[in-house]
Structure 1
């Protein structure tokens, strides 16, 4: 049984979307159990619409809900210990739940999760990892907005975190890792990116394969299993891709309804268009995983519907079932052990320094 804590008040719609999403998810995963944190007078009427949920849901009343426009510092100051968001995260810390799902304010969720769960040993900062549809299948991109900027060591941490997630989610034994850059040549890019590339190249890990630098168009191609970048460029890439998908969808709908012949053509090609719509549906890949914390937190898109929120729960469920935290800890230990061995092998041996100067 996997226990899932839910911030019922998060997102643009709150319980109206969250509760139906639980019902959809439970049909797929009947072994899950939920702890639902939120305002009882708003959540209980929604729960009453789905009697089958009763045995699987525990409702915990919370007076405070974090608003979507609250500043992270404000949310942490006023919501710590009593808001639905904080209580949902805290349930993971107290081992009452295995994963927390929220569609709430991203900045507030990250601030609370980091304060409550703390970062794992040897991790400077957490990252948000997103699933990205590609021409081949799917890949993972991180960081997509947890923080702005990253040094070489943090980029390497992101690579390890993303590699572990790829193994847990896609069952890839040795995922390929690429650093997002302005070119694939080793002389191009910022110094932090080039230094991170050297570190990954010099430290051979059994758990992943360093591919090298990748460019923006490689993300959609699926050139690598994990694309690593810092939060500023990662978030821009994510929002651009989502906007482009909606734009193309709008173009197609307009074109198919413009003339009688277009409408007739749509009837004959309905199957192909349906498959395309499924591929471009951002709800199917909704959910960003906060990686690098002592616990699993999944951020759903705030404006999604029940189908999208259910997909975010699916993602959290899979991360728990496939032991994401254990995989990350093992990869971190192996990486730092290999780095230590590499440093020792390059250090001058006692008595060798200065030889040949006479």
Structure 2
């Protein structure tokens, strides 16, 4: 059985939707057991509302909660008994195989980095996210864990993204693109120019620099970027999708024939909604830490939590971290020891 700890108090709609999503996952995946961390009484009240399969969900009490407004590092250091910290400690002690949280992203990155350490050879962790494109699903890294990466960090992100695409997205020979302000090798900052050379010479299937307009075209299977740019693109995309939906709905409601046409197009609209819905992706893996950690959106629904648990399960089944260690070692050499408490905490987006 695969045991997954779920941060029961993490997210804007916790613990209600977190518990509901955990129950959905317990009913959907026969080989998964779930430990929900958080305030026991509150979690029990939510569990009583659902049909829970016997022995597949347990509770690990945690008396504190990391709020979305909390400083990431301070929250980790001061709230030792938070639902997030308790979940990470369970993973560190190997009592569970993975952690899922929809709480404070910065705190999740800090807690994982400080308590779990990094995989051998990894310098900084990165948040990877599956994105829909015109040619299927691609993966982008980093979207918020490290806002000021070096060229070496970006090379490691490329290696980790390639492995994730190969084993979880089942791409045979994933292509890699480096997000930049132009396609030419000379474009961008010194770090981006150096990263271009490192990735080009790494043996990866590197297609060169890509621009923002290529993010969703499917020009490459893996998009490598710094956490600042990646997070801005992600949040801007969410805003554009929301705006477009509202504009289309507004125009359709103005005209009777437009409403008729919308009804005829409903299956197509539903298909597009499914392909672009964050709930389907579920959560984003924090790649590079010594353990499987999946970070969900703060507004995660029950369906999104269930799918985040699915991503955690798949990461464990496919031995993603073991493949990352092999990939780093074979492509750039295993030249770093597993970090301890002195592991630098990445600069993260809130």
For residue 103 of structure 1, report the CA deviation from its aligned partner: 0.8
- What's the counterpart of residue 146 of structure 2? 147
Question: Which residues of 2 match residues 100-179 of structure 1 at below 5 A?
Answer: 100-179=99-178
Instruction: Kindly indicate whether the alpha-carbon contact (under 8 Å) linking 2:27 and 2:53 is maintained by their aligned counterparts in 1.
Output: no
Q: 1:194 to 1:330 in 2, by over 3 A?
A: same
- What's the counterpart of residue 193 of structure 2? 194
Alpha-carbon distance in 1 for matches of 2:261, 2:34: 46
Alpha-carbon distance in 2 for matches of 1:20, 1:320: 22
For residue 297 of structure 1, report the CA deviation from its aligned partner: 0.6
Q: Gaps spanning 5+ residues in structure 1: where?
A: 340-358
SS of equivalent to 2:52: helix
- What's the counterpart of residue 20 of structure 2? 20
- What's the counterpart of residue 308 of structure 1? 304
Instruction: Kindly indicate whether the alpha-carbon contact (under 8 Å) linking 1:290 and 1:299 is maintained by their aligned counterparts in 2.
Output: yes
CA distances 1:50-104 after superposition (whole Å, capped 9, x unpaired): 2333420111111111111111122112222x21101111111111111100011
Alpha-carbon distance in 2 for matches of 1:318, 1:217: 31
- Name the stretch that deviates more: 22-31 or 66-75: 22-31
Say yes or no: does 1:247 pair with 2:235. Answer: no
Aligned with residue 335 of structure 1, among 323, 331, 342: 331
Alpha-carbon distance in 1 for matches of 2:250, 2:275: 19
CA distances 1:314-337 after superposition (whole Å, capped 9, x unpaired): 211111111111110110110124
Alpha-carbon distance in 1 for matches of 2:54, 2:38: 16
Say yes or no: does 1:265 pair with 2:264. Answer: no
Aligned with residue 280 of structure 1, among 272, 276, 284: 276
**Greater helix proportion:** 1
Give the number of the structure whose alpha-carbon radius of gyration is greater.
Answer: 1
TM-score (normalizing by structure 2)? 0.92
Higher relative contact order (CA closer than 8 Å, sequence separation 6+): 2
For residue 304 of structure 1, report the CA deviation from its aligned partner: 1.9
Instruction: Kindly indicate whether the alpha-carbon contact (under 8 Å) linking 2:328 and 2:334 is maintained by their aligned counterparts in 1.
Output: no
RMSD over equivalenced CA pairs, Å: 1.6
Alpha-carbon distance in 2 for matches of 1:252, 1:314: 33
Say yes or no: does 1:232 pair with 2:228. Answer: yes
SS of equivalent to 1:52: coil
For residue 296 of structure 1, report the CA deviation from its aligned partner: 1.0
For residue 115 of structure 1, report the CA deviation from its aligned partner: 0.6
TM-score (normalizing by structure 1)? 0.90
Q: Which portions of structure 1, spanning 4 or more consecutive aligned residues, are displaced by more than 6 angstroms?
A: none
Say yes or no: does 1:5 pair with 2:1. Answer: no
Q: Gaps spanning 5+ residues in structure 2: where?
A: 336-350
- Report the number of matched residues: 335
